[in-house]
Amino acid sequence: MYINWIHFTVPKISFVLSFISNPLFIYLIYSNKKVLFGSYRYLLAFFAIFNLFASVADLLIPVSVFCYRYAFVTFIADGPFSGIFDYGEIPLSYRCAFISGTYGILNIHFVFRYLTLKSNNVINQWFMPYGLIFSVIYVIVHMIIWGLIDFHCLHSAPEMRDYIRIPFKELYNESIDDVNFVAGLFWETTPGIIRRSWAGILLLTVIASYSMTLYFVLGYKIITGLNIQSITMSKQTAQMQKQLFKALAIQTIIPICVSFMPCSLSFYGAALRIDFMNWVYWMSAVAVSMFPFLDPMAIIFFLPALRRRIVGAVKGINSVSVVTNQYSETSNAIN
């Protein structure tokens, strides 16, 4: 199903950029000798690998969002899983679960940064390999819970298809019977669908809200700890800790803007009968697809040691190009 050129093109561009920026990021953090990441490099590499999996999911299971009156619908717009088939909501639930995976990874990052300040000996003694294994399991569990909520509470039903059949056909010129989707329908339907729709949305909101609360609480404690302990730290260590926290703050703002806010608008806009322009909904899917590319760039930008290596490499390429051109011009003049 073709939504528009932005929805079709941007996720594919983001996929290519993600497969450039994330491997480059992994190379930078493992090859850099000036910034001592310690065990944190393994967590950063895990985040980059997660981003690659998220980009593949975006490419294979591109989604869009449709809202009508008291219903919101997240559906597969294109790709190998777009056709209707038994258990077709499983790949869609898997795709949506990456939203929760992002929350889970950021939770771990904040806990790691906090423990680095308060109990660094715990990190040094236990993070490798136990802490990293726990982090991977925690993120997977986060994703499984989100996916199960989507699959069991927000699965499609004939009443949902009947409710959105005409407006969906008018907007996309496609039959809703040929589309895999998960949805919430909050009024104007059977009590069973209303109950499970509200249950699903509230459970998803709990997952997102506890993560957001963790970010702000631990973020405040990290800032306070940095202000107190920077007196006893070396200047270089204190500066690096502040730079890493700035990068983490940007990493947190990005999913809030491209994931939490669009999802909340879709969920509660339908639940409270608040109508938004159609572009708000499909743009939310486009915005989510950009996160795997933007995430590593935030860290590279806010860590001068990594940023300088990128800038230096670009300048080196330009210098070689200039010298080559000058050599060619000189050779032509002699000839």
Q: Is 197 exposed, middle or buried (0-12, 13-18, 19+ CB in 10 A)?
A: buried
For the chain, what is the mean pLDDT? Answer: 86
In a domain, 31, yes or no: yes
Say how far apart CA 307 and CA 313 lie, in whole Å: 10
Closest C-alpha among 175, 168, 205 to residue 281: 168
Length reported for the chain: 335
Closest C-alpha among 295, 262, 293 to residue 279: 262
- 109-139 tens-digit pLDDT: 999 989 888 887 888 888 888 999 999 999 9
Q: Which residues contact 61 (CB under 8 A, 6 or more apart)?
A: 76, 79, 81, 91, 92, 94, 95
**322: which DSSP letter?**
H
Contact between residue 74 and residue 65 where contact means Cβ atoms under 8 Å apart: yes
In a domain, 123, yes or no: yes
Say how far apart CA 8 and CA 263 lie, in whole Å: 20
Contact between residue 164 and residue 176 where contact means Cβ atoms under 8 Å apart: yes
- 34-67 tens-digit pLDDT: 666 778 889 999 999 999 999 999 999 999 999 9
Report how many domains make up the chain: 1
Q: Which residues contact 270 (CB under 8 A, 6 or more apart)?
A: 67, 68, 69, 70, 71, 72, 184, 186
Q: Read out DSSP for 47-78?
A: HHHHHHHHHHHHHHS-EEEEEETTEEEEEE-S
Say how far apart CA 54 and CA 58 lie, in whole Å: 6
Tokens of 270: 């339908």
Question: Is the predicted pLDDT of residue 332 greater than 70, yes or no?
Answer: no
In a domain, 335, yes or no: no
In a domain, 199, yes or no: yes
| Least confident interval from 9-23, 87-101, 161-175, 318-332 | 318-332
In a domain, 331, yes or no: no
Question: Is the predicted pLDDT of residue 170 greater than 80, yes or no?
Answer: yes
pLDDT of residue 36: 65
In a domain, 113, yes or no: yes
Closest C-alpha among 25, 22, 49 to residue 35: 25
CATH number for the domain spanning 72: value is 1.20.1070.10
In a domain, 256, yes or no: yes
Question: pLDDT-based confidence at 244, cuts 50/70/90?
Answer: confident
Q: Which residue has the tokens 């339907």?
A: 189
Question: Is the predicted pLDDT of residue 76 greater than 90, yes or no?
Answer: yes
Percent of the chain with pLDDT over 90: 49
Which residue would you say has higher pLDDT here, 329 or 243? 243
In a domain, 93, yes or no: yes
Closest C-alpha among 149, 183, 169, 173 to residue 281: 183
Domain that holds residue 192: 5-322
Over range 288-299, report the average pLDDT: 88
Over range 88-114, report the average pLDDT: 91
Say how far apart CA 25 and CA 48 lie, in whole Å: 8
Q: Which residues contact 111 (CB under 8 A, 6 or more apart)?
A: 214, 218
Question: pLDDT-based confidence at 312, cuts 50/70/90?
Answer: confident
- What strands, in cross-sheet order, belong to the sheet with 63-68? 63-68, 71-76, 181-185
